[in-house]
Each structure stands twice: as structure tokens, then as C-alpha cells.
A = this chain, B = another copy of it.
Amino acid sequence: MSTPAPPPTPSHTPAPGCSGARLPGRPRSAAADAAIIEAALRLIEEGATIGELSIEGIAREAGVGKATLYRRWSGKDALMIDVLRSLEEPSPRPDGVSVRDDLVTILELMRRRGLAKRNSALLRTVLTQMHANQKLWRTYDEHVIAARREVLREVLRRGVASGEIRDDLDIDLLADLFTGPMLARAILQEWKALPEGLAESIVDTVLEGVRPRA
């Protein structure tokens, strides 16, 4: 196993003017959104659990009114999903040339997210607490993870159409065959290495099979 790559920097870049210090008055639109997300993160960093956070408390910390917050989010769960999203690396579209390379791109992003979680106490805290709340996690899955899965499924369907992937397998099974090994290591066995090249190894071995080819 090679040495793990240096941790990717989480993509948590607040809007200009909103980086931590409380804003005077009532910021609006994108700046207000960023200030609200920042406020929630600050409260979590200070030790508040997601269960303890209230819309009132977050609005107060952000220096905005509750109405500003409710114009953008339906409630705390919806806000928490954007809080988590602010800490995660965004998903690039696969470039669509080779199905094999697109699969590597998708798994490599999962590997980098796994490393980011290991290296950011804040990201770990938010993910763990959201995971412990089954309703919130399911909402996150439906809003964020489902879109990532759909990107993967499109790549797999393209592979089936082009003949690069067998046409007799269920798409959900195919998706789990590629992502399961990376998820198992990134999430369930966090003490295991996530070395560079792991995405390529998984993709190529699932494509070729582990039985010797004649």
C-alpha cells in the first residue's frame, strides 16, 4: 500500500465578508445564506449538537431575523443539509469520454471525501450527527447522495449501451459493486488506508473480474 495522499482541503469557502465575524445589520441573499451557514457551523464548532440547534439560535448567531432564514430553508433539516454540503468537495461531472475513466473519477471523489472526513473534525462531527438522525440522513440521501448516484447510473447505462459493460446486470447491483468496496473502506473501516490508486484498482478489478480470464 502506498502512502495516503495529503488531505484535500474541504470546499468550505464562505462568501466574502462572511468569514466568521458576526455581520452588522441584516445581510441579504447569498451573503445572508453564507452568514447563516457560517453561524450554524460556528455553533457546532463551539460544541452544540444538531439536536440542540434551533432556528432562533442560528438566526441570532447570524445576526438575521428568523424570516430571512425561512425565506431560504423550510426548516432545520433543510438548513443542515446545506451546512454539510458547504463542507464537502463539489462533484465534478465525469468528462464522458471513457466509461472506465468516468468510474475512476467518481470513485476517486469518494476516496477524497473519505480522507476529508478523516482530516476535518468539523466535517466528522456534522456527518456523524446527521447519520445518527435517521430522518435527517434519509433527507440528505434523497437530496444530495441521490444526485451523485444518478451521475453514476448514467455512466453505467452509457457503458451498457456502448458494450463496455455487460447488459444482463441490474444497474443498482452494478452501482454497488463499484462503490461498495470504496464505501466499506472509507466509512466502515476508517482505520484502513485510502491510498492513491485505490479507485483505479477497484474499477479495473470489477470490470475484469477476479476469476482468471482464459
Report which A residues bind B (CB closer than 8 A): 1, 128, 132, 138, 141, 163-166, 169-170, 172-174, 176-177, 179-185, 187-189, 191-192, 201-202, 205-213
Contact = CB atoms under 8 A, between A and B. Distances in A.
B177 A211 contact: no
A104 to B, nearest CB: 14
A206 B177 contact: yes
Nearest to A193: B172
A211 B212 contact: no
Nearest to A211: B207
A138 B182 CA distance: 19
Contact of A210 (B128, B174, B181): B174
B206 A209 contact: yes
B209 A209 contact: yes
Contacts of A187: 188
Closest 4 CB pairs of A and B: A209-B209, A180-B180, A180-B181, A180-B184
Given A187-B188, A209-B209, 5 more contacts: A165-B210, A173-B201, A179-B180, A180-B181, A207-B210
A185 B175 CA distance: 11
B166 A177 contact: no
A169 B170 CA distance: 26
Contacts of A170: 1, 201
Of the listed residues A164, A169, A189, A210, the one surrounded by the most CB atoms of chain B closer than 10 A to its CB is A210
Contacts of A191: 138
A163 B212 contact: yes
Nearest to A181: B180
Nearest to A212: B166
Given A180-B183, A188-B183, A202-B173, A208 B211 contact: yes
Given A181-B176, A181-B177, A169 B207 contact: no
Contacts of A163: 212
